[in-house]
Amino acid sequence: MRQATDGGYIMAGYTNNYGGGSSDIYLVKLNPNTTTIDWTKTIGGTLVDKANSVEVTSDGGYIVAGYTASYGAGGNDFYIEIGSASCRERV
């Protein structure tokens, strides 16, 4: 969990309950007062995808590192996601 530029918090992990795979990367952005969720996002394919860490970038966006069995060469491949502060943009 890291503090976002707006004073809220961003958390990364994984979920078995949302998304389309057996597990998917799960991002949660908490409101600055930490009593409400601003947004959530799942990332992943049909296999296992998990986040290990999240950082806030200098432009207020987020970078997530983890691994994926859904994409890449097979097995567990390294995965990086870079998004805007609203997490609606994928690079």
Tokens read off for 57: 């970038």
> What pLDDT shows up at residue 84?
62
d(CA 26, CA 39): 11
Torsion of CA 66, 70, 71, 74, to 10 degrees: 100
- pLDDT tens string 7-38: 999 999 999 987 676 899 999 999 998 679 99
pTM of the predicted model, to two decimals? 0.80
Q: Specify the higher pLDDT residue, 40 or 80.
A: 40
Average pLDDT over the chain reads 83
